[in-house]
Amino acid sequence: MRIDKWLWAARFFKTRSLAAQAVDSGKVQWNGERCKPAREIRVGDALRVRSGEFEWEVFVRGLSDKRGPASVAQTLYEESGESRARREEQRAMRRLTQEPARDIKGRPTKRDRRQLANWQAGE
C-alpha cells in the first residue's frame, strides 16, 4: 500500500495530496529514511510524521486504503510512549502560554491608530 494513501486513511492528513506533499517535503520518514509518496509500506514499519507543530512516531499495525471513522483509523497504527509523552507536554505548554496575536483581529481601527500614536509620543 502507498504511504500517502495510508497517511490519509489513518487521518494524519486531511487529503491525500497533502499527505503526498508532506512525504515529498521530508515531513514523513519511513524507518528513519526519507521516502517518496509511492513508497510501499507494510505492517510493522516505523514512521515519523510531522504535521503542524506535532510529531508522531508510530508503528504500522494495519493497512487500509479507505478513510473511515477516527476510531477505525486509530487501529491502523500504534504510537510510541515517548512520542505520546512529548505531544502531551507540548499540548500542556501551549495551554499555559497564550498566543500574543490571538487578540488581534485584522487591521487596527482609527481609534487604535490614535492610541498607538499617543502612546509612542509619550502622552
**Per-residue pLDDT reduced to its tens digit, 23-60:** 999 999 999 999 999 999 999 999 999 988 889 999 99
CA–CA distance, 37 with 24 (Å, rounded to integer): 7
The pTM of this model reads: 0.74
pLDDT of residue 27: 94
Q: Which numeric CATH code is attached to 3-98?
A: 3.10.290.10
- Give the start-to-end residue ranges of the domains of the chain: 3-98
**Residue spans of alpha helices (H) in 10-101:** 16-24, 70-73, 81-96
| Cα separation, 29 vs 41, whole angstroms | 11
The mean pLDDT value for 90-94 works out to 86
How is residue 41 written as a grid cell?
Answer: 509500506
